[in-house]
Structure 1
Amino acid sequence: MNYLKRSRLYLTHKKGQSLLMLLIMSAILVFVLSGIIIQNAAISATNNVTKSAGTTITVSADRDKQFSKMRSSSSTTKTLTTPTVANTKIKQAGNLSTVAYYNITNTASVNASSFDAVSTSTGTSSGGMGGGMQPGGTTASAGDISVSGVSSTAHTTTFTSNEAKLVSGRNITASDANTKNVVIEKELATDNSLKVGDSITVKTTATSAKSIKLKVVGIYKAKTSSTAMPGNDPSNTIYTSYTLPASISGTVGKSSAVTYTLENSAKEKTTTKQIKNIIDSSSFSVSSDDASYQQLLQPMKNVQSFAKKIVWLVAIAGTIILGLIIILSVRTRQREIGVLVSLGESKLHIVGQLFAEMLTILIGAMVVALLLGGFVGNKVGNQLLSQQQTTSVATTSSTNGAPSGAPSGNMPGGQTGGGMRGGAMMGQTSTSAANKKALKTLNTSITPSSVIKLGGMGLVIIALAVCISAVSILRLRPKDILSGE
């Protein structure tokens, strides 16, 4: 009788034993499939994270070098000069294939003329946060209004982290270059009865003050309307194109800082090196901020590693369990095997019969695994993701109290120093940005590749299990079995 036919008859005759083997094999394959689809989902999520994390590279003045130059100067009057870089070089670096977009930053300090600046209750003055130093120039008197010039307000850290939100009109964009359009804070607008479309006038802080007429194109709401520092109310910050502060400080065609946001966070090191080659780094600090990327990436790596361990542990345990069950089964079938061998049946055919029996059970177990594996994988994967993200956020938050290495005068994301900024605030901003982009659920689904991997793992498991039990079969001698020894 053909050994394949014998395997079919044995399975139908031993229904209880066959059902037990089916349940055991199904349980093994369900967890193997769950591990496979969780691992695939984590890999896919990791690839998405590298594209959506928004790793930034900031070029700003190296304050340590500037202070060193100032102290070593032979001049009796010690002044600190902020270096600038040509916009042509900034745009050249911005054209790199790895850069998604960039935000040029310039700052200036002016005085309110046709309107009143917002005064803080804790101070005696209403000085803006940008005063004290002009890009490309020497120390200047502080005005009560800070002009923050950017390429796009929508791409600044303040707006992307929801520290500020546009409530009326529109944002500053690249098309506003060489215009006098501004976006002002809601409190400043309310106190002076200003609305979108109105014009306001400011005066420069130089000895020969010049009046500049500005047009309000948008109004934003700052999350914090006052600060503990006198004269640093964030409502006195107006956003405009980076070209306006440059014209005020006499550095037309140049800028003091720029932030590049990458298409792919994995290209951070390569892009930083390319930017350093384009922009003279002797006076500038080129630093990257991939905190959000790392915070988003770590949970994915942990989930991927855990899923890989599930697959291997279940596969090894399954092989051992099935091997032991088959060995026990062979012991109960010794007389059957002895009769077959005495009739001239090859021992390899008997081993083949066991493999055929297990292969039939494997096919049924795969059907069960495909029905339940997706559900189990989805539940386990998302629970694991939630736990890993909670751990990652807690770990990151515990380190955010340390001051940031970025100079307070030029913050990453196109921001300038002031009451709303600082090392701790930057840490909180990075954390909140990462939390906003964090993946909430894993996209677990059964793909053709998952089915192929499952089938391959199943075949390996039953092959190893049968090989383990084959040792006892090959040792059997018909005479010993039939004689009852």
Structure 2
Amino acid sequence: MNFIKRAFLSITARKGKSLLLMGIFFIVISLVLAGFSIQNASDKATDNARKKLGASVTLGIDPQNSINALNKEVTEEAANKLKDSKYVKEYNYKSESSAIAEGFTPKGWSEDFKEGMPGMPLPAPGVEMPNLVIESTMVSGLSKSFETGESKIVEGKSITKDLLGENVTLIEKRLAEENNLKVGDKIKVRSKKDKEKTIELEIIGIYTTKEKANEFMNVPILDPVNKLYVPYKTIDKFEDVMFGTFEAVYYLDDPLHVNAFKEEAKQSATDFDGLLLDAKDSVYKQMIGPIKNIASTSQTIVYMVSIAGAVILGLIIMLSIKERRKEMGILLSIGERKWKLIGQLLVEVLFIAVLAFGLSLTTGSKVSQVIGDNLLSNEIATAAQSKDEIPGMMEGIPDPTQEKTIDQIDVSVTGGDIGKVGGIGLAIAILATILPALSVLRLNPKQILLKDE
């Protein structure tokens, strides 16, 4: 009789054990499929989180590395080494300075402030208190306030790279209205250190801003209305550039190239001790924390279930083969080949495994989603509990710089997942069948029949 036909007759004759094997295969395949699906969903969620945060990387002082950052300053020389990276599609340099308005009055300014302001340190003898902030930028549209939409040009034009070093400026609409200024007018600002050093700036654009003044320190220089934007290099004409305020921002071609850009930067000759390439990494880690943990858990599930499933199936098949010694001994004694007996056992197991595999595909997405949701919920609860246990945490005060932690995951079964699970299932079925079978079939027919007695 053909060994394949014998295999199907054996399956129908042993319905109970066949159903048991199919049940175990179904559980193993479903859990392994869920593990791979959750890993893929986690990878997709982390990619989406990075894309949500954007593709900008800022070179600045590292606040966590206070020892090396103490005497460290970001320089244009260091910034220039990174701007030509293949990942950089645009870049912007900015720095800030303080200055004094000459011939016009900043919002909230009065003569009483000249010798000092409430909440601010007293100026050195002979030095006036500044009442303007000057921010230099290569492209005003790439400055943080304009990029986020808090500020926008309402008259005139923006600052672009072709205005590098020109004596032009952008002025806030309320400041312009209070001083009857318009596009094309010129204003003068001067250094707080050198009263003779006065610079004339032409107004090329008027902007509005939604940024709010600091309500706890009501001083003119801290009011966003009193900020002037000038082209990069123009600020070099002021002598009061604030220490450590130079910043370089690189806009990458793809958010997913952030890590590659950082690695490339480390290979440059730039000394990064005390400096930081920041792509909102702390926010990113906060967003993907639970997702990263369930990805690790799902990987562990794949390993443990695969090993445990192979062992359990191997033991069941081994017990089944021992019960069928007499059958195998008789078949061998009448001339049946050993490879055909192994083939029969493989056909039996593989047929049952295929049925279990097909069944698991119909429920795979739902099972994977349920497991993924439960794992994620547990991770979020654990993270929240850990945060509550940290002493000194400020309760009830939201952090506007933080993005919401990812609390949902879309788990779906892909063709790649099915291929991986099919390969693992096939390997488990073959190993769990051949190893026990060889332990019996290595004997001759007489020995097999004698052992059965």
Deviations 1:155-198 (A, max 9, x none): 455666x6x823774995535653634263x8x56994999979
Q: Which amino acid aligns with 1:117?
A: K
- Per the alignment, residue 95 of structure 1 pairs with 84
Aligned-residue offset at 1:302: 3.1
Aligned to 2:396: none
Unmatched segments (≥5 aa) in structure 1 = 69-81, 134-138, 403-427
Aligned counterpart in structure 2 of residue 165 of structure 1, from 150, 157, 179: 150
Q: 1:353: how far off?
A: 1.3
Shift in Å at residue 359 of structure 1?
A: 0.8
CA distance in 1, matches of 2:321, 2:57: 60
In the alignment, is residue 243 of structure 1 matched against residue 232 of structure 2?
A: yes
In structure 1, C-alpha distance between the alignment counterparts of 2:358 and 2:70, rounded to whole Å: 71
Structure 2 match to 1:455: 422
Structure 2 letter corresponding to 1:144: N
1:151 aligns to 2:138 (yes or no): yes
Name the structure 1 match of 2:350. Answer: 359
Alignment of 1:85-484 (within 5 A): 90=79, 93-112=82-101, 113-118=103-108, 141-152=128-139, 155-156=142-143, 165-166=150-151, 169=154, 174=160, 177=164, 178=166, 180-182=168-170, 184=172, 192=178, 201=187, 203-205=189-191, 206-208=194-196, 209=198, 212-222=201-211, 224-229=212-217, 231=219, 233-243=222-232, 245-246=234-235, 248-249=237-238, 257-261=246-250, 263=252, 264-266=257-259, 267-274=261-268, 276=270, 286-289=275-278, 290-292=281-283, 294-295=285-286, 301-381=292-372, 383-385=374-376, 388=379, 432=402, 435=403, 441-442=408-409, 444-470=411-437, 473-474=440-441, 481=449
* Residue identity matched to 1:452: G
Which runs of no fewer than 5 residues in structure 2 stay unpaired? 394-398
**1:8-27 matched pairs, under 5 angstroms:** 8-27=8-27
Alignment-mate amino acid for residue 151 of structure 2: L
Task: Describe the superposition over 1:32-57 as per-residue Cα deviations: whole angstroms up to 9, x where unpaired.
Answer: 11212222344455566677564432
Where does 1:72-83 land on structure 2 (aligned, <5 Å)?
none
Report the alpha carbon displacement of residue 66 of structure 1 after superposing the two structures with TM: 12
TM-score (norm 1): 0.67
Counterparts in 2 of 1:242 and 1:212: CA distance versus 1, 3 Å: closer
Q: CA deviation at 1:311?
A: 0.9
Shift of 1:484: 6.9
The alpha-carbon distance between structure 1 residues 64 and 27, as it changes in their structure 2 partners (threshold 3 A), is closer
Query: What's the CA shift for 1:221?
Result: 1.2
Q: Give the deviation of 1:245 after TM superposition.
A: 5.0
1:78 corresponding residue in structure 2? none
Q: How many residues align?
A: 424
TM-score (norm. length: structure 2): 0.71
For residues 105 and 477 of structure 1, the distance between their equivalents in structure 2, rounded to whole angstroms, comes to 87
How far did residue 460 of structure 1 move?
1.3
Whole-Å separation in 1 of the counterparts to 2:422 and 2:227 = 63
Which residue number corresponds to residue 39 of structure 2? 39
Separation in 1 of the partners of 2:239 and 2:118?
A: 22
CA contact (8 A) 2:35 2:368 kept: yes
Q: 1:337 to 1:272 in 2, by over 3 A?
A: closer
**Identity score, percent:** 24
